[in-house]
């Protein structure tokens, strides 16, 4: 079993993530690779690594700077038959890996196994549970944010083969996990464990906070990369609404209005379009709306 954490500038949160992986009650070998992106490698000598069936190594990102390149560096360094991701600001509960593997045995055709998440945000804990089974068409309609990258468990052979590595061409690495899920679901279904076994910390600053240009460019890239969105009005509208919101936050009013109109043509119920219009019309700042949805354990 190989676990990969790509990290940058979060030493204390990183240590909590690492300890949660080492403390898994999974009885097999766990080899953890921590990839340091755009920062000096920390040997993490202060981490107490159990002598039996646990190993930690720290390496620099040797590929494209950013999350995608960091994860791919870890994937290529991995030796286990299975690969799992964990973000550097998240934590696993002790039964996470063992429960996933036990569940996978009942449905070995699944290409990826995810678990539920427990979102820590503004003094509250909110549980989000993934569907038992998710197909490609489901992911076109909805990002299904309950399927979080910190819960991904996959076969290494699939990641190096029919799924492919994380896309390093995605602008700002924004949406790389969604793109990865779409490509995984093309070749097999995604299995969900109906337990919150990953703690996702939302009461901290995201590297994407306020980086609206990267968000808009990343989402536009996704629409172009996956032409199947053209057959899903609801799915297209969801992403177009996000692009409109990001452009409005950038002050690009004409482009924001154009994307908002396209969103509404595809799905009149898509609230992001109306939020984008309100921001572009200078009725409300983007930060207020983002804070409001974050308090509910949601994102843009």
Token couple for 245:
């919101």
pLDDT digits 0-9 by tens, 46-60: 999 998 999 999 999
pLDDT digits 0-9 by tens, 217-260: 999 999 999 999 999 999 999 999 999 999 999 999 999 999 99
pLDDT for 208 equals 45
pLDDT for 288 equals 87
DSSP structural state of residue 108: T
Token couple for 123:
């003094």
pLDDT for 209 equals 52
Which CATH code is given to the segment(s) 2-201?
Answer: 3.90.550.10
pLDDT for 207 equals 45
Angle subtended by helix axes 271-280 and 253-266, to nearest 10? 160
pLDDT for 129 equals 97
Q: Are 118 and 200 a contacting pair, CB within 8 Å?
A: yes
Other CB atoms within a 10 A radius of the CB of residue 5 amount to 26
pTM here is 0.92
Q: Are 189 and 110 a contacting pair, CB within 8 Å?
A: yes
Ranges of residues in the chain with a pLDDT under 50 are 207-208
pLDDT for 123 equals 82
Provide the residue ranges of all domains of the chain, joining segments of one domain with +.
2-201, 212-295
């Amino acid at each position: 079993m190989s676990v990969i954490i790509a990290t940058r500038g979060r030493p204390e949160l990183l240590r909590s993530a690492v300890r949660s992986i080492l403390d898994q009650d999974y009885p097999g070998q766990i080899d953890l690779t921590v990839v340091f992106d755009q920062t000096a490698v920390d040997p993490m000598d202060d981490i107490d690594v159990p002598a039996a069936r646990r190993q930690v190594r720290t390496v620099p990102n040797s590929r494209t700077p950013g999350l995608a390149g960091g994860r791919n560096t870890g994937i290529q360094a991995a030796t286990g038959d299975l690969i799992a991701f964990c973000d550097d600001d998240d934590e696993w509960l002790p039964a996470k890996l063992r429960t996933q593997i036990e569940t996978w045995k009942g449905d070995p055709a699944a290409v990826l196994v995810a678990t539920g998440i427990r979102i820590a945000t503004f003094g509250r804990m909110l549980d989000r549970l993934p569907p038992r089974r998710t197909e490609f068409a489901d992911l076109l309609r909805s990002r299904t944010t309950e399927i979080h990258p910190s819960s991904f468990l996959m076969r290494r052979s699939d990641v190096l083969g029919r799924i492919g590595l994380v896309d390093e061409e995605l602008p700002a690495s924004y949406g790389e996990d969604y793109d990865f899920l779409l490509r995984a679901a093309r070749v097999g279904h995604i299995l969900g464990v109906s337990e919150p076994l990953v703690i996702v910390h939302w009461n901290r600053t995201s590297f994407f906070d306020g980086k609206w240009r990267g968000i808009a460019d990343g989402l536009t890239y996704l629409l172009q990369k996956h032409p199947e969105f053209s057959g899903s009005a609801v799915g297209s509208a969801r992403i177009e609404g996000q692009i409109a919101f990001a452009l409005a936050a950038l002050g690009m009013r004409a482009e924001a209005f154009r994307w908002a109109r396209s969103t509404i043509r595809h799905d009149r119920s898509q609230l992001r379009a109306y939020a984008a219009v309100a921001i572009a019309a200078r009725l409300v700042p983007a930060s207020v709306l983002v804070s409001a949805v974050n308090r509910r354990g949601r994102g843009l």
